[in-house]
A and B are shown apart, each in its own frame.
Chain A
């Protein structure tokens, strides 16, 4: 039982490059989330989705886009990466209720 799987686990980008982070869950959860975690800042919600085809902005949505075309997948896109987007990114899913997290993606933008 995989739970929540994030790919890739590590990535280094140059400023201005684009990339997509993929999150997949096999628990048939309705809700999915993308967070970023920076030292001393806890987890900050970027975007979330309450169902297939729906997305909503969280606390820090600027510079990111998301899509939820399939219930099991939630994609986070960076169109033009900036050094301020260097962070650890976590995806999570829930029924709602308990949120289950992936292992995280460590992204460095140079």
Chain B
């Protein structure tokens, strides 16, 4: 059973398009982190959202944490080939150890020129 469900699993789009990927759970999370992973590398943190309803922007990327802290979304505006990669959400379930950092399966994004 996957505690964090990410969708879609794969996404292939053209440069300039907008997209949204989702991270959902039936459990509450203390916080959620979004990472991007490129082939042959370890994941690299993009953002952490902590407060229910929080919205954070990182250039063309917008992250939102659901009011109930059970879900999050990542929206990319005008995608570029450099955005290609595996996007992972992760977090420690609420009430458990902060060290229990659970990841979703990820969304593999391909942006074609």
Query: Main secondary structure on chain B at its contact with chain A?
Result: loop
Residues of A within 8 A of B90 (CB): 43, 99
Could you tell me how many residues of chain B have their Cβ less than 8 Å away from some Cβ of chain A? 25
Separation of A31 and B90 alpha carbons in the complex (Å): 15
Instruction: Assess whether A45 is in contact with B42, with CB atoms less than 8 Å apart.
Output: no
- A-B pairs under 8 A by CB, number: 68
Q: Which candidate, B52-60, B76-84, B99-107, is the interface stretch facing chain A? A: B99-107
Could you tell me how many residues of chain A have their Cβ less than 8 Å away from some Cβ of chain B? 28
Judged by a CB distance under 8 angstroms, whether B72 is at the interface is no
Residues of A within 8 A of B98 (CB): 31, 50, 96
Judged by a CB distance under 8 angstroms, whether B88 is at the interface is yes
Residues of A within 8 A of B2 (CB): 42
6 A–B contacts from the bound complex (CB under 8 Å): A31-B98, A33-B101, A42-B106, A97-B48, A99-B43, A103-B40
